[in-house]
Structure formats: C-alpha cells, structure tokens
Structure 1
Amino acid sequence: MPVGDSMTIGSAGEHTWRYRLWQHLCTAYDGPFTLVGPRETLHDPISDAPTSHAYADPGFPRAHLAGWGEGWHHMAPLIGEAVRSCRADVLLVSLGLIDLGFYTNAEQTADNVRAFVTAAREACSRVRVAVMPVIRNIRVESDPAFADQVARFNELLAKTVADLDEAGSPLLLVPPPASYDFHTDTYDGTHPNESGEHKIAGAFAEAMWRGWGLGGPYGAA
C-alpha cells in the first residue's frame, strides 16, 4: 500500500511513482502481488480535489492511501482501517513535508509516526513498513527554520524506525535517492516529474530488495 502526500497521489495526466514501482516489480518480483488501498484517484488541479482518473497510463493497480495536503497527522488515524480492509502487508510510506510545513514540529511528527505504526500493527501484526525520510523541496532555500525542521525530523525518523523495528513486523528506513534534485526532478520544486518518479520508485525498490529480499535492482522501465 503506497501511503503518502501530494508526491504520491500525483496529479491528472501523470504516471506517478506508484506506476513506476509497479512496472519494476512486474519484472523483478517472482510471486503474486498487487497495490492496495482505499483510494485510487489522482488530484485534479482544476477542482482542487482528488477526483481525477486521468492517469497517463491507467493500466496498473491504482489503489493507494495518499492525499494532496495530507501527512502523518492525517494518516495515523486512517491507517488501521485501511490496512484491515485492504489486507495490506507492506506499507510504502512517504510523508512529513506537509506536517512540518503546516501542522506539527519535528518532535510531534515523530510522535505521529509512532501512532501510525502502532495502529498498522494492531490491524496486521506482521505488517512491514518501509519509510522514506522527507525529501527536501524548494521551500528549504527560502525558509531556514523549515529546513532545520526537515533535518531534525529526518534524524528523529531514523531513530524511531530503529526503535520500533521488530523481527515479526520489520521497519525499513528507505535511503532517499542520492541524486534527487528538486531543481531538475520536479516540475514545481516539490512534485516529481518523470525522472523524479523513477528516482522515488527506485529508492523504495532498492530498499525492499536489499533489506527484505523483495524484487531486485531497479531499472527504469
């Protein structure tokens, strides 16, 4: 189940990194799998609502739990029912930018990570959670306080993942794509373009392969 904010839900006309990861796993993973989640739409920039089905290529499982303007603050109360109803056993999470920008500081956001993991495990005791730190966006150039909060949260996230990791329900910190540059891998300083989609998908794919033996090395499809 992909869980995320605007970078994960995507906008009308996009492929999304979810699509890129699906393509990769179709060739690299030897076993049955699918993407699950209670939602399947894209964000429609005209209506400013999650009402679009206009994927660049709709031929993949489009299910997810992602929303434009949503973060750990929003997803922690939803994840238990989503895991339970969709029978998710792997969560691919990219959250935090919205929290730090509008709702909670680094410490409060880390508390919401713990609440999220607790609720997910209550719904599925063997759930695996792969978590990507916050990817810096253009705001860090003009807002030093925000940049400091992003750095602080990413430190706390790494500690939280290590603290909560369990053999029966492993947590995995996903190294952000080393070459990701919001000047060239986004179309507006935040949201991924084609190269950004591949880099985010590749980060999740490589982490799952190296950490859990799922799939294989990422190759842009």
Structure 2
Amino acid sequence: MLRFMFVGDSMTIGSAGEHTWRYRLWQHLCGSYGRPFTFVGPRETLHDRMTDAPTSYAYAEPGFPRAHLAGWGEGWHHMTPLIGAEVRAHRADVLLVSLGLIDLGFYTNAEQTDDNVRAFLAAAREANPRVHVAVLPVLHNIRVDADPAFAEQVDHFNELLAKTVAALDEPRSPLLLVPAPAPYDFHADTYDGTHPNESGEHRVAAAFADAMDEGWGLGGPYAAQP
C-alpha cells in the first residue's frame, strides 16, 4: 500500500467546515490510481478558528483518510525537526509538501528557508532512503500582492526552491517541483486572500495530481472541475 503524507500549513490543514484539498486529492486518486493507498501522519483534525486550536473534526465530508502533518501557522521552520521521526513512524512513501508562506512572513528569509528545505529533505531521506517528495512553491496571496518586500522574498525563495529540488533530485528518492496551479487567483480561489475555497481546493489538488502523473506516472490527470 502506498502511503502519502501531507506536510503543510493552514492551507493544508484547513479549518472547520471545509473539505480541504486533501479530500479533493483523495477523490482523484480513488478514481485514477487503481492500487491500494492511504494517507498517513500524526494528526487528523482541522483548525477551529473560533478557538484558534487544531481541535475540529467537522469536515464537510469526513469519510476519507484524514491523517496529515499540517498545522495552522507552521512552516519549514516547524516541520523540519519533526519530519524524520514522522516518516519513520508512519512509513511514508510520498510526501506532498506545501510550506513557506509562514517562514517568510515570520521566521526566516529566503536563504534561511531554503536551508531548512535541505535539512528537511535530508531528514526525510534518512528515515526512508526511497521517499518521494513533491513540493509546491509559495503561492501568490494577498500579502504578496500588497507588500513588495515580502513579494521579493517569495519570488527569491521560489527560485531557490526550484534550484534545490533540481540539484538534490535522485533516482532512488525523486523530488518533484509542483508547478503553481494555473489558473490560480487569490481573489477567486480563496475565501480570505490566502486560504483555498472550493475552487482553490480543486486547483491545489490538481497541481499535485498532474505533477505526479507527469513526473512519476502516478495516477492520471486531474479530472474534477473547480
């Protein structure tokens, strides 16, 4: 059985009442992969925005493997110390990673964030030398649109991320840079300028699905419409 682990921030954990793009990808893989698979990780909840805590099980559709490693306000800075132990504990085969917005906004600059990416990949590979990792760059959001200095850091990090993925890719443990969803408009595809709404969930899921299909021959092209 192939074990996928989502590693992400608030865009991936989602909040109470949402489907999440994790659910959208599960729907896609159920129809396209054709082999046993599941989602793994140490967490299952959504973020409850009323209490500002990851305590909600109120998924719009709870009937799917909800395990993940994602957290509201977490980034590479937070996940890098955790990833080795979690890959080992949950025997993850494929990591689907969407991180970086929080790092650049609060913790590290582009170069420091890229250092954490490299440390993250090293730790994941130490835990599973054959782990596959698909990484989404930081998406354009409302702060990128409004803050030129932040936008410069995001652009710089995304360039560094592309170079790191290309430099560290290897046949035994392949890395995949997931192209940003196209189209993706934070005015239309998020509910607050950052977090995906229904169309945004589909677009993020489609970006990962299509990249895995084209890069690894894993699953087919994403068929659902936003």
Which TM-score bucket, shorter chain as reference?
A: over 0.9
Equivalent of 1:66, from 66, 70, 73? 70
Give secondary structure in 1 for the equivalent of 2:55. strand
What residue number does 1:39 align with? Answer: 43
Paired with 2:27 and 2:162, the residues of 1 have a C-alpha distance of 28
Deviation at 1:30, TM superposition (A): 1.6
Paired with 2:62 and 2:146, the residues of 1 have a C-alpha distance of 37
Give secondary structure in 1 for the equivalent of 2:134. strand
What residue number does 2:87 align with? Answer: 83
Say if 2:81 is the partner of 1:50: no
Paired with 1:40 and 1:118, the residues of 2 have a C-alpha distance of 25
Deviation at 1:141, TM superposition (A): 2.0
Q: CA RMSD in A?
A: 0.6
Give secondary structure in 2 for the equivalent of 1:31. coil
Paired with 2:133 and 2:113, the residues of 1 have a C-alpha distance of 17
What residue number does 2:9 align with? Answer: 5
What residue number does 2:200 align with? Answer: 196
Which runs of structure 2 are paired with 1:142-181 in the superposition (5 Å)?
142-181=146-185
Paired with 1:160 and 1:60, the residues of 2 have a C-alpha distance of 33
- Give me the TM-score of the superposition, normalised by structure 2: 0.97
Deviation at 1:220, TM superposition (A): 1.1
What residue number does 2:118 align with? Answer: 114
Deviation at 1:178, TM superposition (A): 1.4
Paired with 1:205 and 1:54, the residues of 2 have a C-alpha distance of 25
Paired with 1:152 and 1:180, the residues of 2 have a C-alpha distance of 20
Equivalent of 2:24, from 20, 30, 40? 20
How many residues align? The count is 221
Give secondary structure in 2 for the equivalent of 1:119. helix
1:107-126 Cα offsets, whole Å, 9 max, x none, are 00000000000000010000
Paired with 1:129 and 1:103, the residues of 2 have a C-alpha distance of 23
Q: Percent identity?
A: 80
Paired with 1:77 and 1:166, the residues of 2 have a C-alpha distance of 23
Paired with 1:53 and 1:142, the residues of 2 have a C-alpha distance of 34
Paired with 1:141 and 1:101, the residues of 2 have a C-alpha distance of 13
State the AA in 1 paired with 2:159: E
1:156-183 Cα offsets, whole Å, 9 max, x none, are 0000001110100000000011100001
Give secondary structure in 1 for the equivalent of 2:72. coil
State the AA in 2 paired with 1:198: H
Paired with 2:202 and 2:157, the residues of 1 have a C-alpha distance of 24
1:23-77 Cα offsets, whole Å, 9 max, x none, are 0000000211001111000000011000000000000000000000000000000
State the AA in 2 paired with 1:175: P
